[in-house]
Structure formats: structure tokens, C-alpha cells
Structure 1
């Protein structure tokens, strides 16, 4: 197992969500892990939705917790998805805010349990299922949380700052340094290893994979070609992304057209030369797994 340290950084990725219920392990929690009670509502064009779709597949929960797929571009005039408005309105009196995804809902009550993606994946991991291992193995929680924070601040936010329109050259260069430093640490962690944590597939690998999808399909469009070539020069990191993309539980959820439409519908940045320097052939991997029968999920 690699011993390259994963330094913790402050978790500033998400603001506090409006709904943050938790699924407990017994009836005393109010929401407890029972089959056919809960439903996921997500768009795989959204990073949080893609994380949850991959985790849901790896956990083999298709028969016990169904998924409602939402369009890539929100379609509600008040913000978010029109299909989610009844859930929001049933869950909060006179709710007027946006109906945002992802959502974990309770089919028994018709209300929302949570809109906080990290909690949702951890709670799905509690669902009973024979023959699979956990995405959050006991004793690995702190390392997984460190990877989550690194991907949030050191990859996603740093890449956004490095390509932000209106930012000065010094600000963009400093953000690129943070991005490359983070990628370098993760690359060293994966050198000679198949997975990030404890020689097994965990939520840390899902987190990193989604961050790399975003980096190559969205953020590089606002970077110069030199920066993208330096990003691509982390061979262990991109080999890891390529291996996971070839697995049906990952690659079958890639909605590249949806990611592009969501990006262009929200983005205010300017396209740069890095847009022409694709790092991985995501479309090829996605096409390769479309007709591959999905094996029973064993969490490996």
C-alpha cells in the first residue's frame, strides 16, 4: 500500500443544503435502511449525480432503491427541475426556492430525506446487501474524507480558478500550481497501486474519477494548451481514470452530451486553447461498455 500522505484541506465545496436528513440503521432513526422505501433523483450530467449513480450501481441497489433520471439542463422556471417541485413543496411549507438535484426521497411519505450528496452515498452504503463490501470500509473514513476534500478544493475549485474569466495572470497561475500539486500527490499515491485506499475500490476512487471527468470535459476548456499538457502528464492518475471508465458501473453512466449541454448552459468563461487537447477518450470508453452485460455488483 502506498504511503504518500493525503493532507487534509478545509471542506468548502458545498454550502449547507436545505434538506439533510439521514438514514439510520434501525426504526428509531425515523428513516432507516429498508428496501423499496427510498428513491434517488439525479442527473448524471451533474458531478454529484454522477457520483451517486456510480455508487448506486456498485452497491447493487437497482432493485431496492430505484433511480429517477433527470434532464441534463434544469427545466423549472423557478430554478432546478420541474419533476422535483412536488417533493420540495411537500417537504417545506410554502417553499419557493429552486428544486435542485440530487434528491433522496422517501416514497412512503412523499417527502425529501436529503439533498446532500456525500450523506446520501454514505447512507446508501448502509443498505443491506449480501456479497458486497462497503464503499466506506471501517478504518478508512479519514483517508476517504481527505480525498474528497482534495478533489473539491485542490482539483475542482483550483481548476475553476485557473480558468476563470477576468482573473489576473498571477491568480490563474497560483490556482494552476494548486491544481498540479494536488494531482501530483494523488498521482504518487496511485503509482504502483490499483486503488487509492487499502487496495480496494472505495468511495475515494469514485470521488477522484468524477473530478477527473469534470477536469477533462469541462475545466480544460478554459485552460491554455500548456496547462492541459501538464495536467495530462500524471500517468498513474489518468491510467486509473481509464481503468474505471472501462468498467460498466462507471462508464455506462457517462452522459458526455449532457455534461456539455449543462456546461454551456451555465458557463460564463471564455474557451481557451486547452479545449482542443483532450486527455482521455471518454466517448470511446462510454461506447465500449454500452453493450457489456453488467456483472453482479460485489463492490470490488
Structure 2
């Protein structure tokens, strides 16, 4: 294996990503190759993946059907879990979403797939217009009456009450109750052209970085705080506690079942292209 000087990696400035990658980004993972980090929100990294930009990317699971020919899903580093799904928020409690305008954080987002699957079950008349906007603009838009409801992700789970909003539905709760599986949110992918040995090294580097963060949480705090912007430290800690879990260290059988289940259901609804049989396989696809 000819090792490159450094590998390009792009992930979000959210606390779960900076917590996971802190040790690797700062050269503390023994034997791990150097990485050059770009911070970008998930809608940006999804686009990068579709254009084939970047060696390693944090993306939405929803984008996988479009990129798995060029990228491999790594079995660690991503975000899956329980009790951590996107929420649909509104100004008024209990409104009927049939025909209503709903803001969403991207039509390639996992949140959007979960929302569409929920709406197919729970909104018989179908929602009205879907408006795509950056996730940080959604709660103000709902509060100000620019849209009837908004689909929110990340730390909005902990802060939506500050905007005077109500939780109309929990997409993760619906997913878990209908499938029994964890909620797939964000994936780590890497270029297949790097070769199996390198992909294995990258995956192991992530696993070790996660374990080092768990073993010494204080070591990651400066990196997390530096990129969490205005986020309250207590909210950042809750964010990490919710999105960094056993599935971050290894997807395992339940994790892979959740990913395949989501994308299979979404394909049946015509939301994504169907997956090939071995599309999610790490390393060899034979």
C-alpha cells in the first residue's frame, strides 16, 4: 500500500463529529494517516459525494443510493441511535399537515426520507409544498409564520421550546415503533479507489478515535467548543450523548439492518433508486 501524505475529510462542525474525530484530526491516533479537515454542513457534503469530491465524507444515509458505486460505506463513525430522530415542529399544537407548507433541510437528507415515510402513514391527504432551507433557518421560519411546519435535526431537539414551538411528531419514534430498528442518520463514506487496505486503515482510525474520545472526554472539549459556535456547552454535551453511541464504533447487524431498511422502504416509495444486493458491503463487494 502506498500511503498518501494526507487524506481529505469533510464533516460538520457539530459536536458529535468534532468529538468523534478530535483524536484523529490532532494526530493522537497511533498509526493513523494524517487528514486534512474541511468543515461543511451535511447538505454540502452530500453534494460533494455526488460530485466525487473528497476522500472521506460524512453524509446523509439518504444520499447513499447515488454514490455507492464510487464510495464505500465505512462501518463506523456515523450517527445512528434511538430516541434521536428528526422532529416536525409547528406554532400550533396538533395541526393537520394535509396541504400545509413544510420546511425541510434538503431532499437528499435522511430526515426528509423519514419524514416522507411518516407522512405516507400519517398524513392521508399528503402534505402541501415542501420548501428546502438550511436547517438553522427552519425554526425561525416556523416561528415567524413563513411556513406551517418545519422538519428539524441536531440540537433543535433541545432548543425548539425557546422558539415557542410545539413538537407535532417525532420521526424517529415513528421509525422505531414500526421497525424496531435504530434510526439511521449520518454515514461515513470513503473512496473505493483508495483500495481495501487503506479503507480498512481508515475505518480502524475512526474506531480508535471514537474510543479515545470516550476514554478521555475532556481532551476533545476545546475542539468541540471551537466549532460549536454559539451552542451552550450543556446542549453540546447532550448532543454528543445522543448521537455518539455503540453504533458510532461499529454499525453491527442492527445498524446495517436499519440502513438497508430505510433505503429499501424509501425505494419502494420512489424516493431513492433501489440498492444493489451488495451495495452496503464494506471492502469487497463480491
TM, length-normalised to structure 1: 0.30
Give the structure with the higher percent strand. 2
TM, length-normalised to structure 2: 0.31
